[in-house]
Amino acid sequence: MKLNPSLAPWRGKRVWIVGASTGIGRAVAEALMARGAHVTVSARNERELRSFAAPGCVLALDATSPGALQDAAASLLAQGPLDLAVYCAGYWQPMRADSFDLAQALKHQEVNYSGALRLLGAVLPALHRQGHGHVSLVGSVAGYRGLPLSLAYGPTKAALINLAESLYLDLRAEGIGVSIVNPGFVETPMTAVNDFHMPAMTQPADAAAAILRGWERGQFEIHFPKRFTLGVKLLSMLPFDLYQSLVRRGTAR
């Protein structure tokens, strides 16, 4: 079902991707560049950004730093309207309650959720004024329901899903698009820390292709690979007693 205006064709579209140095963000940036979009990329690692993007398209920053996104957005918007802003910065470390680490939990919140709020604070006023554009947040299927090892990560992704739903309700009438991207496992530096089986592992280029298709089709939720995410969706709809029993059995935890 088409819930947003299509972002295709891409040629000439102005896109800003925060969290673009590796993984999904970088793959999406490269795919959009190949289609003729003008893509500005941001992340902390300026060297990685410059390895694939032109110098004039690099805005190195730390999304958790107060004012960094606001300053970058002001610079970018001074050059013209923005068609798409993507928040793809992410942080993941496995955590259980028996090894709860407050500093790590708060870092997940700062990178995964508060950074997205900072991006919204930086671009929403301009999108309101121009009367068009699109905001896309990269969440995770880990945000659907509680999961083992996801004590710090999962809640931040659940917050992003709720945030995107609320944004959509508020912005739809203005013609401003909103989407939430909920991937399964994608082979990135972030998932490289995992020592457990990750079913239906997807490559970043395939993830980027799925995301672009979703934006082009005007989807609100973009989730992939379907052979994995549809099962997770069905599982998440079960009553909690049955859900947790199946999850514990399936993960041996």
Domains and CATH numbers, the chain: 14-251 (3.40.50.720)
> CB neighbours of 8 closer than 8 A, spacing ≥ 6?
215, 216
**Percent of the chain at pLDDT exceeding 90:** 91
**pTM of the complete model:** 0.95
Task: For residue 148, say if its preceding peptide bond is cis, omega within 30 degrees of 0.
Answer: no
> Nearest 5°: phi and psi at 215?
-65, -40
Kindly report the CA angle at 62 between 64 and 145, in degrees rounded to 5? Answer: 50
pLDDT at site 197:
82
- pLDDT of 13 over the 90 cut: yes
Q: Which of 42-46, 105-109, 141-145, 189-193 has the lowest mean pLDDT?
A: 189-193
What is the average pLDDT across 157-185? 97
pLDDT interval class at 223 (50, 70, 90) = very high
pLDDT at site 35:
97
